[in-house]
Amino acid sequence: MASYRSIPPTAGVRLAKASSNLFRERARFSTPGLDVSGLTNVISVDPEARTADVAGMCTYENLVAATLPYGLSPLVVPQLKTITLGGAVAGLGIESASFRNGLPHESVLELDILTGTGELLTASAQQHADLFRAYPNSYGTLGYSTRLRIELESVKPFVSLRHVRFHSLSHLMAAMNRIIDTAEFDGVSVDYLDGVVFSATESYLSLGVRTAAPGPTSDYTGQRIYYRSIQHDTDTTEDRLTTHDYFWRWDTDWFWCSGAFGAQNPRLRRWWPRRYRRSSVYWKLVALDRRFGIADRIEKRNGRPPRERVVQDVELPLERTTEFLEWFLKAVPIAPIWLCPLRLRDHDGWSLYPLRPGRSYVNVGFWSSVPAGVADGATNRLIEEKVGSLDGHKSLYSDSYYSREEFDELYGGETYKTAKKIYDPDSRFLDLYAKAVQRR
């Protein structure tokens, strides 16, 4: 509050933080940001009520470390350690429990939000309900969360994994649909569900089951690489991880993106310190590349055109996802592709990311680059058009190219504008369109 009051009334307001999981240009401010140094911890865990009070800038790495000793975890644990709870709620998050638990903001019981008027308001389904429902996907343009009370769920010490291979994308989607509806596969319960597409004829569903049965576990924080363990020639393979390692199975190699830095080269990997094999380090390397244009200089030196970054997550209705994947594999030279199904827990929907309650969706994630075209963001624009034609949505953490009219139709429109007028009437925070689309 003191740091907010120290910023001139005519100046824009932002968070003062050193790291980010965004992949779009961040707005530049000449004034200091809000001091969040005191908002990084878990405040309390109530094991009987199965809730936790958490500061807004607490990372999921710290949150999980605080809840696991009680045999509890957040309902959805986004796959990268340095994603913050406040960030996952204001900017959305997803993981392999989302087919049964929805999105992170759906487990929020109440949250304290510093609004553009300088007030600290407690929002819930019962008070300031308009702000509570408009806050998810607002990306800090309606305010910043300082405290969140969230639901927790019981977990067991281990996760037993089964990787099931499919030779047809339509067969994979049919199996995914059955699992979402029944929470089981071949008569066995399923607690966690995601998938990977390597090609049109090679794709996998990874089925996780919570278990307390003792036994050996795999370690993918050393020389072994998790996503490579998924591929096999047989119909199924089995694996086993501690619950802690399962939650962070993707972080060590940033899914598969660590290969761009040589971290998957066995000779280099032996000398790459384990503590530096994590998403936050790779993100800093990407930031350095963007700052100094290292990759483009290398491409130019080798007589190749610059690259267009295609780092996106999109949500498609499950029944349209096969069509999108078949198109994508032909039109965009990027693989592997991550799949994560979801169904909202809430029956009313969320205005700034209007997925239909009761409908199954699939998050499709792809993170790489392609040769740049003549037009700025040519491939990203093509993907936006295709996603829109299939009744899908795109997450806003990366580059977007929508017109104002398209954006308003997809991301809240009048509902957002009304909330903005009430809770940030003087536009102390950026407008959502300016933050997500317009270049600064």
Does the structure show a pLDDT above 90 at 124?
yes
28 — pLDDT class (breaks 50, 70, 90): low
Does the structure show a pLDDT above 70 at 23?
no
Place of tokens 């499709």: 364
d(CA 351, CA 296): 39
Rg (the chain; Cα; Å)? 21
Examine residue 130 and state whether it is found in any structural domain, yes or no: yes
Interval 253-311: pLDDT, tens = 999 999 989 999 999 999 999 999 999 998 888 878 777 776 777 767 777 778 899 99
Judgement on whether residues 138 and 174 belong to the same structural domain of the protein: no
Examine residue 328 and state whether it is found in any structural domain, yes or no: no
| pTM (2 d.p.) | 0.94
Q: For residue 344, which of 335, 355, 330 has the smallest C-alpha distance?
A: 355
Examine residue 11 and state whether it is found in any structural domain, yes or no: yes
pLDDT on residue 287:
77
Mean pLDDT of 25-35: 68
**Domain total of the chain:** 2
Judgement on whether residues 226 and 126 belong to the same structural domain of the protein: no
pLDDT on residue 440:
47
Interval 104-123: pLDDT, tens = 999 999 999 999 999 999 99
Judgement on whether residues 242 and 150 belong to the same structural domain of the protein: no
Does the structure show a pLDDT above 90 at 19?
no
Interval 69-96: pLDDT, tens = 999 999 999 999 999 999 999 999 999 9
Examine residue 329 and state whether it is found in any structural domain, yes or no: no
Domain residues for 220?
158-249
Judgement on whether residues 168 and 50 belong to the same structural domain of the protein: no
Using DSSP bridges, classify how beta strands 361-371 and 307-317 pair: parallel, antiparallel or unpaired. Answer: antiparallel
Out of 249, 264, 284, a domain closes at: 249
pLDDT on residue 30:
61
pLDDT on residue 9:
85
Interval 314-373: pLDDT, tens = 999 999 999 999 999 999 999 999 999 999 999 888 999 999 999 999 999 999 999 987
d(CA 28, CA 54): 28
Look over the chain and give the mean of its residue pLDDT values, rounded to a whole number: 93
Share of the chain above pLDDT 70, in %: 95
Give the count of beta carbons closer than 10 Å to the beta carbon of residue 434.
Answer: 15
pLDDT on residue 327:
98
16 — pLDDT class (breaks 50, 70, 90): confident
SS3 track for the chain: CHHHHCCCCCCCCCEECCCCCCECCCCCCCCCCEECCCCCCEEEEECCCCEEEEECCCEHHHHHHHHHHHCEEECCCCCCCCCEHHHHHHHCCCCCCHHHHCCHHHHEEEEEEECCCCCEEEEECCCCHHHHHHCCCCCCCCCEEEEEEEEEEECCCEEEEEEEEECCHHHHHHHHHHHHHHCEECCEECCEEEEEEEECCEEEEEEEEEECCCCCCCCCCCCCCHHHHHCCCCCEEEEEEEHHHHHCCCCCCCCCHHHHHCCCCHHHHHHCCHHHCCHHHHHHHHHHHHHHCHHHHHHHHCCCCCEEEEEEEEEEEHHHHHHHHHHHHHHCCCCCEEEEEECCCCCCCCCCCCCCCCCCEEEEEEEEEEECCCCCCHHHHHHHHHHHHCCCEECCCECCCCCHHHHHHHCCHHHHHHHHHHHCCCCCCCCHHHHHCCCC
Does the structure show a pLDDT above 60 at 21?
no
Confirm if 60 and 83 have CB atoms less than 8 A apart.
yes
Judgement on whether residues 147 and 169 belong to the same structural domain of the protein: no
d(CA 160, CA 252): 19
In this structure, which amino acid lies at residue 409? E
pLDDT on residue 25:
60
CATH number of the domain enclosing 166: 3.30.70
Which sign does the torsion angle of CA 52, 73, 282, 22 carry? negative
Judgement on whether residues 69 and 151 belong to the same structural domain of the protein: yes
Out of 249, 274, 289, a domain closes at: 249
CATH number of the domain enclosing 132: 3.30.465.10
Q: Which string of b and e fits 260-285 if b means at least 16 CB within 10 Å?
A: bbebbeeeebeebeeeebbbbbbbee
Out of 204, 219, 249, a domain closes at: 249
Q: For residue 411, which of 101, 58, 137 has the smallest C-alpha distance?
A: 137
Interval 187-244: pLDDT, tens = 999 999 999 999 999 999 999 999 999 999 999 999 999 999 999 999 999 999 999 9
